Amino acid sequence: MIKLSPSILSADFANLQRDIAVAVDAGAEYVHVDCMDGHFVPNLTIGAPVVKALRKATDAVLDVHLMIANPDQYLDDFIKAGSDIITVHYESNGDTLAQVRKIKEAGVRACVSIKPGTPADVLLPLLPELDMVLIMTVEPGFGGQGYIDACTDKIRAIRKAIDENGYQCELEIDGGAKLTNTPDIVAAGANVIVAGSAVFGGDIAGNVKGFKKIFDEFENNYFAF
């Protein structure tokens, strides 16, 4: 099943509960929370206290994307805050596999992300243990950037590895997804689409429904053959 994970980085920060409710009521499966520390990326956003507040404000699946230099220092906080999915970056400090195991032992779904310049191959040994993999399709740090076309081959490569080995691992992409390029992104094999500016810029419910319509069309065509 193809899912939408709206990134609240582009939502109204003074009305997060309201904007999340609109997106979820319109059909969004996940809610993507971009946590940035000003070190791993040149931007400073949300920390565990905000995730904790969101946990009280919504039953939605909180898809927490950690763009932080030292996950080992903060994983406990994000676990306790009520994250449903935690993504750590392969490029962050520490032992990525140990971080994945710690997340899973806490009963939280674990995901590893790679930046556009990191080859997909580094994910292959991790895939058997992952609940989700996240291919960044922009340089992490900011919403509203353009999709990097060169990342599409990495989506294809990871989809192939997941399917050939029968791994139970979702394939998420993040950055620059719009209604116009999403058909190509799902055709390449992504099944979780993060979209920030394309959801929260303008009519939130209408934008979510636009993405869902593309997913439905793809799934109907795919299963028709």
Ligand X SMILES: O=C(CO)[C@@H](O)[C@H](O)COP(=O)(O)O
Q: Which residue ranges make up the site for ligand X (CB under 6 A)?
A: 7, 9-10, 32, 34, 65, 67, 138, 140-145, 174-177, 194-198
Q: Which residue bears the tokens 């404000």?
A: 57
SS3 198: helix
If one asks whether residue 170 binds Fe ion (CB under 5 A), the answer comes out as no
Helix (H) or strand (E) holding 192: strand 192-195
| 39 among annotated binding-site residues | no
Could you say which DSSP state residue 189 is in? T
By a kind-dependent CB cut-off of 5 to 8 A, residue 143 interacts, out of Fe ion, ligand X, none, with ligand X
With respect to ligand X, which residue has the nearer C-beta, 142 or 167? 142
CA distance 45 to 158: 29
Catalytically active residues, by annotation: 34, 174
- Binding string, residues 46-65; x marks residues near Fe ion by CB under 5 A: -------------------x
Asked if 85 contacts 106 with a C-beta cutoff of 8 angstroms, the reply is no
Residue number with the smallest Cβ distance to ligand X: 196
Q: Which one, 96 or 207, has the nearer CB to ligand X?
A: 207
Q: Is 34 in the site for Fe ion (CB under 5 A)?
A: yes
What DSSP letter does each residue of 147-162 carry, written as one string?
P-GGGHHHHHHHHHHH
Comparing CA positions, the residue from 223, 224, 200 lying closest to residue 211 is 200
Is residue 32 a known part of a binding site? yes
Which residues are at the interface with Fe ion (CB under 5 A)?
34, 65, 174
> Which amino acids are annotated as binding site, given as ranges?
7, 32, 34, 65, 141-144, 174-176, 196-197
